[in-house]
Structure 1
Amino acid sequence: MGIWTNQVDHDDREQRVVPRQPNTVLASLLAQVGWSPRVLAQRINHAFGHGTVALTTPYQWRDAGRVPRAPLPALVAWVLSRELGQPVTVAELWQGQASDSPLMLPADVEMGLPWTKAGTLGVIDDWVMSGLLDRRYFLAVSGTALAAATSLAVFSEAGSLTSALDGGGVGHPLIQQIEQSIPLLQRLDDANGGGAHLAYVGAQFRAVAVLLRQGGHTSAIERRLFAALAELGQLAGWMAFDAGQHGLGQRYFFTALRAAKEARNRSMAAHVLGDLGFQAATREQPTDAVALGTAAARLSDGVPATVRASVASRLAYGYAIAGQLAEFEASYQSAQEALTDRKDYEEPEWMYFLTPNHLDTQAGYALVHAGTVNTDGDRAARPLFRKGEQLLRSGAHDFSLSHPSQRRALFEGAWLAVAAASRGNLEQACSVGRTAIARIRNVHSPRSISVLRTLASRLRRRARNEHVADFLPTLDAALAR
């Protein structure tokens, strides 16, 4: 059944009666796309799940002027907009008689197109259109739906390791401008967090999508555009994830995977798969985290060292959340070893952030996070907190407030405070926590805020402690803002 099954519009009891005159606007739009009302119902059910609407119900909308209950008016407008290639509003379609509503959709909706250039361009069409009419909220998917959206058997093709820029030249000024802007956009994320500039980066992503859909490019320029779209999609996906918009983040990542395939950029594809695994670990979904991380590790065979190291570190996070500590240690060590092997490949510029210290601190908060979800009691969690705190102390938590990596400093500081609180070092937890919350005014990172909420919940257990009693009201006030 569809995700809207509880709102299925099967009969007159589910509809509000309006004057019984045909809906001429709906009739005209259906005529333009060459659909009968039955085909409209089929398209709605295909997009939103079997059973969303009965096959005969749209005849009542067209011929008798019936108006469906929310969210169906918005679903119909969206389906018609997609087919027409132009926005159709709820107000226009139902002449002001219908209630509008945001669309809550699974992140993989209409992502099931073939892994071909035509299929990728079809996915890109959705991003081009959504800039005009997007009121959707995407729900994160997991399990088989997530696996289906990230199937990368296509990368077994010959030549998939070829650089996206081979033969592209540097003489195209617009492509140069796009490529040169991406590192600056990445620094925005470092400084201010995913929530601060996601809309702007999303607009840059759509701008490149529009260029691709315009067509007429040489094959070399087209590959460079796909490569840029993959980088921007990865960045937007990461920023959406950091902003707590997990479904939207997945949707960007899914599109970035397809763009990486068209650019023949295996390194970026492995990186994006690793990000999806990291996201699943953050959401405490160990099965998905390990499956995606393992797939990324397979894909990263033979790619540059920094990419292999990043992929291995993300898989280690998945193993930690799964409680597979031996596998965690092996993957963490693999990441460290990969960074010693940089002589054979030119490293991608977008891996600028990866250092041995980054690997250590990521392993640190992976262990602390694993300790917070440990179901075997405090005794089993203690070594996780101890080792995690040790690794995090070497990281970014005490960066100055003017340092360019404020998002990382906030995130790692929040986890270090959680580790200290979990070990009973309440004075240290409160001291580190104060530094972390001082960064909130300049960093919009709901992912980091969720860690501070974990800190607050742990400190409340020791509310009578003098350090906690002094700090907790300040923390609560910061979280409330």
Structure 2
Amino acid sequence: MTHSSLRPRPPAASQTAPGTPFTAALTRSHLSAPQLVRAVNVKLEATGLPALHPTTAYNWCTGSMPRSPHVRSLVALTLSEATGTTVTADELWGPSTQPRPVLSAADELLGPRRLPDVLNTAAHWSAETTVHADTQPATPTTLFTAVWDATHQPPSPACAMRHSAPRVEPAMINLLEEHLSSLRHLDDQTGGGPLAQRRVRIALSEVILLLRTSSHTPDVRTRLLHNAAGLSQLGGWMAFDSNLTAAAQRYQLLALRLARAADDTDTVSNILGMLAYQYAATGHPQEALRYATAAVEHAARSLPLVRARALGRLATAHAAAGDIDRFRRTHEECRALITRRTPGDPSCLYYFTDEQLAAETGHALVELATTHHRQTRALLSEASRLLTPHVRQGGVTGYRRSAVLHGIHLARAHLLARDTEATAAVLTHVAAGLAGVQSPRCRALLRALRTRAGRRLRTAGHPHALEAVDRALSST
């Protein structure tokens, strides 16, 4: 299904209107018309909306515009990301009848904010399911400022009981906590597809409503805040998994505010570590180091597993920065702490096991192999040894999305080692496990690796692996 069933031919150069604002912005972006549509479609599909036809942007070059105001906003956002400057839909196509302010992900969560104001902001977000998709990502400086504001606000004082409002009983919060656990396991299996994201947003809006309108004891209130922070963090992770940068930033900032209001330092550290991971995964190692260091500092007095999680994020950041010595030292500290589990460990770290740490370490070694050429062979061999068990077993132990993601890293390791037979075998295994995994990020990484490996695998006589990947990617 597409927004347009028309299949226009690409216009000749003489047919375009190079002086139109849209064409000028497209030229500055260095994107072709089909590349622009592909980038917009990533955002549309991540929010569960139908994609545009690949040739649609050629019509915009000749003076037409998208009928949907939401699509117009997404086109402007995509051009903004490509050009590094703010582009609005009004600039591209003239003022709309219902103008919307251009917001960055941090705009509504900067500075001192009272908890009721934060909750009201979150309630507004849940009123429109696509409200985040056309929001501009915050700049690194603005995001760090918002994170600083969130982590330095004082915990929210307990409110007096409102006896006229419905009361949240412990049995209700038990149910909400079980629901959060189930949603986390859903993400482990399917990733951040649009339906899973919607379910998390609905759950978050329900808890926000309880915080705003119900009565509760101080203990239940703290558990509600903790639950809302967990849902918001999960929503941010799923948005990142769907390549929705602004939405990911918004939900992580909200999660920080909620966790800080509950004086929950463990969750604050975990969120900072997640931001570090996201920056490392998108090629921003210095930002990753900044957030990972903050995560370690916030976890200084926490349980060993919380400190291990923060150190694991710092090790990943060092690997992204190419610092093999600091990576090794930090990883050893993490590995020593992860074995010291306690019954009081945060429930959100259920997944952080020896096997998960091994997989993360294997991925980090692949990244290091690309910059330490004298050690490439040894690093790739070590990475393959660490990644293989999780890739083989993750799908049957409840971590299907993670098995696919780390399978892509394992296939990349074999490709860098010029082992085409092993590359083909892992790609075939990953393709078989992709069914049911709706992670746009995993699919994008697999598509890029398939393109990189294509010629080499064909030459080596392994076209079947490429065909298996193509079939898996074409399925919905």
Question: TM class by shorter-chain length?
Answer: 0.7 to 0.9
- 2:228 & 2:367 partners in 1: Cα distance? 32
Q: Is residue 459 of structure 1 aligned with residue 453 of structure 2?
A: yes
Please list the CA deviations of residues 10-51 of structure 1 after superposition, one character each: whole Å capped at 9, or x if unmatched. xxxxxxxxxxxxxxxxxxxxxxxxxxxxxxxxxxxxxxxx99
Please list the CA deviations of residues 252-285 of structure 1 after superposition, one character each: whole Å capped at 9, or x if unmatched. 1110000000111110110011001001111111
Equivalent residue number for residue 166 of structure 1 = none
The worse-fitting range, judged by mean Cα deviation, of 220-229 and 209-218 is: 209-218
Write out aligned runs for 1:424-463 (5 A). 424-463=418-457
Please list the CA deviations of residues 411-461 of structure 1 after superposition, one character each: whole Å capped at 9, or x if unmatched. 111111111111011111111111111122211112222332342233134
> What amino acid is aligned across from residue 253 of structure 2 in structure 1?
F
Offset, 1:114: 1.2
- 1:379 & 1:74 partners in 2: Cα distance? 61
The answer (yes or no) to whether the contact 1:113–1:119 under 8 Å persists in 2 is: no
- 2:447 & 2:395 partners in 1: Cα distance? 21
Structure 1 regions of 5+ residues with no counterpart?
8-49, 54-66, 80-102, 161-168
Equivalent residue number for residue 369 of structure 1 = 367
The answer (yes or no) to whether the contact 1:138–1:247 under 8 Å persists in 2 is: yes
Offset, 1:405: 1.6
Equivalent residue number for residue 144 of structure 1 = 141
Write out aligned runs for 1:45-444 (5 A). 70=93, 72-73=95-96, 76=99, 78=100, 105-131=103-129, 134=131, 136-151=133-148, 154=151, 171-195=169-193, 196-214=195-213, 216-342=215-341, 346-372=344-370, 374=371, 378-379=373-374, 381-394=376-389, 396-399=390-393, 402-444=396-438
The answer (yes or no) to whether the contact 2:285–2:321 under 8 Å persists in 1 is: yes
> What amino acid is aligned across from residue 468 of structure 1 in structure 2?
H
- 1:391 & 1:339 partners in 2: Cα distance? 16
Offset, 1:313: 0.9
> What amino acid is aligned across from residue 260 of structure 2 in structure 1?
K
The 3 A distance-change label for structure 1 pair 403 and 123 is same
The 3 A distance-change label for structure 1 pair 472 and 328 is same
Percent identity of equivalent pairs = 28
The 3 A distance-change label for structure 1 pair 207 and 71 is farther
The 3 A distance-change label for structure 1 pair 158 and 215 is closer
> What amino acid is aligned across from residue 212 of structure 1 in structure 2?
L
Please list the CA deviations of residues 67-118 of structure 1 after superposition, one character each: whole Å capped at 9, or x if unmatched. 9975753773x46xxxxxxxxxxxxxxxxxxxxxxx7x43223221415424
Please list the CA deviations of residues 139-189 of structure 1 after superposition, one character each: whole Å capped at 9, or x if unmatched. 4334212211211685596999xxxxxxxx994333222122111111101
SS of 1:441 mapped into structure 2 = coil
The answer (yes or no) to whether the contact 1:281–1:289 under 8 Å persists in 2 is: yes
The 3 A distance-change label for structure 1 pair 277 and 71 is farther
SS of 2:128 mapped into structure 1 = helix
Offset, 1:380: 5.5
Equivalent residue number for residue 47 of structure 2 = none
The 3 A distance-change label for structure 1 pair 125 and 197 is closer
Offset, 1:134: 2.7
- 2:96 & 2:110 partners in 1: Cα distance? 24
Equivalent residue number for residue 15 of structure 1 = none
Structure 2 regions of 5+ residues with no counterpart?
1-21, 26-84, 158-166
- 1:369 & 1:304 partners in 2: Cα distance? 29
The 3 A distance-change label for structure 1 pair 203 and 321 is same
Write out aligned runs for 1:11-50 (5 A). none
The answer (yes or no) to whether the contact 1:127–1:209 under 8 Å persists in 2 is: no
- 1:302 & 1:159 partners in 2: Cα distance? 21
SS of 2:393 mapped into structure 1 = coil
> What amino acid is aligned across from residue 188 of structure 1 in structure 2?
L
> What amino acid is aligned across from residue 330 of structure 1 in structure 2?
R
SS of 1:110 mapped into structure 2 = helix
- 1:220 & 1:462 partners in 2: Cα distance? 60
- 1:466 & 1:414 partners in 2: Cα distance? 19
- 1:71 & 1:204 partners in 2: Cα distance? 38
Offset, 1:466: 3.3
- 1:210 & 1:170 partners in 2: Cα distance? 11
SS of 1:140 mapped into structure 2 = coil
> What amino acid is aligned across from residue 233 of structure 2 in structure 1?
Q
SS of 2:456 mapped into structure 1 = coil
The answer (yes or no) to whether the contact 2:404–2:442 under 8 Å persists in 1 is: yes
The 3 A distance-change label for structure 1 pair 340 and 135 is closer
Q: Which among 453, 463, 474 is matched to residue 468 of structure 2? A: 474
- 1:74 & 1:341 partners in 2: Cα distance? 60
Q: How many residues align?
A: 384
Greater CA radius of gyration, 1 or 2?
A: 1
The 3 A distance-change label for structure 1 pair 113 and 392 is same
- 1:334 & 1:75 partners in 2: Cα distance? 55
Please list the CA deviations of residues 296-334 of structure 1 after superposition, one character each: whole Å capped at 9, or x if unmatched. 110011112222111111111111111111111122112
The answer (yes or no) to whether the contact 2:236–2:251 under 8 Å persists in 1 is: yes
- 2:394 & 2:318 partners in 1: Cα distance? 32
Aligned CA-pair RMSD: 3.2
> What amino acid is aligned across from residue 453 of structure 2 in structure 1?
L
SS of 1:127 mapped into structure 2 = helix
- 2:97 & 2:248 partners in 1: Cα distance? 23
Equivalent residue number for residue 35 of structure 2 = none
- 1:71 & 1:431 partners in 2: Cα distance? 53
